[in-house]
C-alpha cells in the first residue's frame, strides 16, 4: 500500500462534492473548522453545482473533474468531501487509478464516499481515511468529530495505536490481525458485480457501519456479506454504532441482530465503534493499514501501522 505524505499546518485541502448537494451554511461551517485546524481550503464554484435531478451535486463529469484537479494540482496536499448522500459510484468510471496512485494524497470521507475509499484502497492500493466531512461533522466542531484521531491519523507518521472508545463492546471474543478495510455496508454491497467490487484480501479486518436501517435490513446485509464470501475472508469484524437502526418499538436492536447473525463467526467481533454515522464525535480510521482487534472485557482496535509518511 502506498502512503500519502503527512499533512502539515498551512497545507491546502481540496474540497470536493462527489455525492449529494448540501446546504451552504453547513459548508461554510465546515470550511471554518478546516481553517481552525490550520489548513487552507481550496475549491471553486463547481462544488456548489446541483444536477437537474436535485439529489446529486453536479454532473458526474463535473464531480470527477474536481477530484482529478485536486489530485493533479501539486499545491493541494489532500482531498476531503463535503457530504455523502448518493452519487459517488457515478464518478468511478471517470476516475483514473493511475492519476490517483501518482498523486497519493490523503482522501477523507465516509458514507456514500465509501465507493471512493474502496476505489483507492483496493483499486489503487493507496491508504484512505474513513473520516469526517464538512457537512454534519466538521461543521459542528469537536461535537461532530474526534479531533485527536483526525490529526493523529493525518498528521503523524506513526501508528494511531490503541483505540478503545467507551461505547465499544464485545460480541464475540478473541484476537486477530489484518488489513483494515470497509465503510458503509450499503455501499460495499452495492459495489458487488461491478468493476469496482469490494474485493478484500484473505485475513482482512472488516469495518462496517450504517445509519437508519431497520434490523431486518441489517440481517439481510450481513447475510449477503456471508453469501458473497466476504465474511469468510475476514479475520475480525468491527461494527459501527449503527445509529438509528434499532426497531422503533425498541426490539429487536441492531446490536442484538448483529450478535445473532454473527454468532458463528470464528473471529472476534466488536460493536459500537464511533466512526462515520455516530451519535457523538466521529473518529477517523485509516483504511489499508494493518490493525489488531482485541475482543475481551476491554475491547479495542489497535492500529499497528502508520497511515502517512
69 is catalytic: no
| Residue 26 CA from chain centroid, whole number | 20
- The β-bridge partners of 237 are 206, 269
Consecutive H or E run containing 13? strand 12-16
DSSP string, 194-230: STT---PPTTPEEEEE-BS--HHHHHHHHHHHHHTTH
**Which member of 26, 33, 209, 210 is catalytic?**
209
213 is catalytic: no
247 is catalytic: no
Q: Are 128 and 2 in contact (CB under 8 A)?
A: no
**Which member of 88, 111, 118, 275 is catalytic?**
111
Query: Running DSSP on this structure, what letter comes out for residue 6?
Result: P
Sign of CA dihedral 185, 258, 233, 203: positive
Annotated catalytic residues are 111, 209, 277
Amino acid at each position: 500500500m502506498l502512503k500519502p505524505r503527512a499533512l502539515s499546518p498551512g497545507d491546502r485541502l481540496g474540497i470536493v462534492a462527489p455525492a449529494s448537494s448540501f446546504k451552504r451554511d453547513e459548508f461554510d461551517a465546515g470550511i471554518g473548522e478546516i481553517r481552525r485546524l490550520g489548513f487552507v481550503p481550496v475549491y471553486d464554484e463547481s462544488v456548489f453545482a446541483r444536477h437537474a435531478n436535485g439529489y446529486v451535486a453536479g454532473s458526474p463529469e463535473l464531480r470527477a473533474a474536481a477530484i482529478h484537479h485536486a489530485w493533479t494540482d501539486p499545491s493541494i496536499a489532500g482531498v476531503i468531501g463535503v457530504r455523502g448522500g448518493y452519487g459517488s459510484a457515478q464518478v468511478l468510471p471517470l476516475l483514473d487509478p493511475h492519476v490517483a496512485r501518482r498523486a497519493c494524497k490523503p482522501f477523507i470521507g465516509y458514507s456514500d464516499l465509501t465507493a471512493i475509499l474502496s476505489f483507492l484502497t483496493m483499486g489503487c492500493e493507496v491508504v484512505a481515511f474513513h473520516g469526517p466531512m464538512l457537512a454534519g461533522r466538521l461543521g459542528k466542531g469537536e461535537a461532530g468529530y474526534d479531533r485527536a484521531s483526525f490529526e493523529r491519523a493525518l498528521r503523524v507518521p506513526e501508528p494511531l495505536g490503541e483505540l478503545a472508545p467507551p461505547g465499544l463492546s464485545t460480541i464475540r471474543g478473541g484476537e486477530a490481525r489484518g488489513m483494515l478495510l470497509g465503510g458503509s455496508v450499503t455501499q460495499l454491497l452495492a459495489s458487488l458485480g461491478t468493476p469496482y467490487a469490494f474485493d478484500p484480501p484473505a485475513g482482512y479486518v472488516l469495518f462496517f457501519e450504517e445509519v437508519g436501517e431497520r434490523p431486518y435490513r441489517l440481517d439481510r446485509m450481513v447475510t449477503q456479506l456471508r453469501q458473497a464470501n466476504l465474511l469468510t475472508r475476514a479475520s475480525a469484524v468491527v461494527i459501527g454504532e449503527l445509529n438509528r437502526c434499532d426497531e422503533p418499538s425498541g426490539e429487536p436492536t441492531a446490536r442484538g441482530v448483529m450478535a445473532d447473525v454473527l454468532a458463528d463467526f470464528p473471529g472476534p467481533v466488536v460493536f459500537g465503534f464511533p466512526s462515520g454515522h455516530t451519535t457523538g464525535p466521529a473518529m477517523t480510521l485509516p483504511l489499508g493499514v494493518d490493525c489488531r482487534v482485541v475482543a475481551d472485557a476491554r475491547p479495542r482496535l489497535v492500529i499497528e501501522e502508520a497511515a502517512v509518511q
